[in-house]
Amino acid sequence: MKHALLVWLLLTACSPRPSAVVAFAADGAAVTQLDLAATAAPLQPQTVTVFEPYEQRDVAFHALPATAVLDAAYGARWRKAEALGLVALDGYTTTVPVSRLLSHSAYFAISREDRADFVLDKKVPKPETVAIAPVYLIWDSAKDPVIRAEGDYGWPYQLASVNLTTFAQAFPGLAPPALGTAEAAEGFELFTRYCATCHSIDGHGGKVGPELNAPHNVTEYWQPQWLHQWIDNPQSIRKGTAMPGLPAHVPERQKAIAAVIAYLKAMTHGP
């Protein structure tokens, strides 16, 4: 009896695959949970080599295709949702548009091929080793130049749960009026990703840069062409400014800047 228990303990302790349980929800309500280290065929881990944005080199992971995992968790309905909230163990949430998962290849990684411990030896933003279990969301950055150019955007680690959501739910207080233009809606998505980390709208958002809507909207007191140029290249207006400008890799940059301005305008308070 004692021996059997000891053998069982040893087997469990030496088990090569620790569990990788992820909870799936929609609008905050639980849907299901899956242990990605113990899924049934045909949902099997495969070796996926990506350009790892924190280690800044190619790394091979054991990983499951994200679309197949999401199909298993939600059926087809996630494909019609607007966004995925990816929640880490500490509650930190990354919001990624569903369209990005449908147009680029993402994977839920559950272990590394080159080492036994599931960690990252980060080089950027600073050298440190971080644990990334239970799951790490990775993208096909080795073959996809658009994904590679975006660095670590959308690579949450210690991923514990996934929530089908909308940008309006994920960023309360920042959503433009429901009947606004498609351009403003696009600008809202861009703003949440590239601006809201530093700027607030009516107090919602980051505190590194100035508030952009209270009491007056920045589009009321900045001339349109200067505002466009500022977002494009702040240094060309104010030498030494701490504002970085819209990243160079953003596709259709001029259109993107116009959309951000349309969004800012849509947030203007009434007279």
**Residues near ligand HEC (CB under 6 A):** 194-195, 197-199, 208-210, 212, 218, 230-231, 238, 241-244, 246, 260
Under 8 Å between Cβ of 25 and 164: yes
Burial class of residue 61, CB neighbours in 10 A (0-12, 13-18, 19+): buried
Q: Which residues contact 226 (CB under 8 A, 6 or more apart)?
A: 237
Place of tokens 């909308």: 166
Dihedral over Cα of 86, 43, 8, 12: its sign? negative
Of the candidates 166, 268, 164, the one whose C-alpha atom is nearest the C-alpha of residue 222 is 268
Q: Which phi and psi angles does 21 have, rounded to 5°?
A: -85, 130
Which of 23, 222 has the CB closer to ligand HEC?
222
Q: Which residues contact 256 (CB under 8 A, 6 or more apart)?
A: 186, 190, 246, 250
Which of 238, 269 has the CB closer to ligand HEC?
238
Which of 102, 237 has the CB closer to ligand HEC?
237
Query: How does DSSP classify residue 97?
Result: E
Which of 65, 245 has the CB closer to ligand HEC?
245
Of the candidates 36, 12, 8, 9, the one whose C-alpha atom is nearest the C-alpha of residue 22 is 36
Dihedral over Cα of 71, 74, 79, 85: its sign? negative
Which of 50, 201 has the CB closer to ligand HEC?
201
- Give least dist CB 132 to ligand HEC, A: 25
- Give least dist CB 186 to ligand HEC, A: 13
- Give least dist CB 209 to ligand HEC, A: 3
- Give least dist CB 249 to ligand HEC, A: 13
- Give least dist CB 234 to ligand HEC, A: 7
Which of 243, 258 has the CB closer to ligand HEC?
243
Which of 56, 197 has the CB closer to ligand HEC?
197
Angstrom distance (rounded) from CA 251 to CA 233: 16
- Give least dist CB 176 to ligand HEC, A: 14
Of the candidates 73, 95, 71, 74, the one whose C-alpha atom is nearest the C-alpha of residue 84 is 95
**Token couple for 3:** 């021996």
- Give least dist CB 230 to ligand HEC, A: 6
Which of 161, 213 has the CB closer to ligand HEC?
213
- Give least dist CB 96 to ligand HEC, A: 18
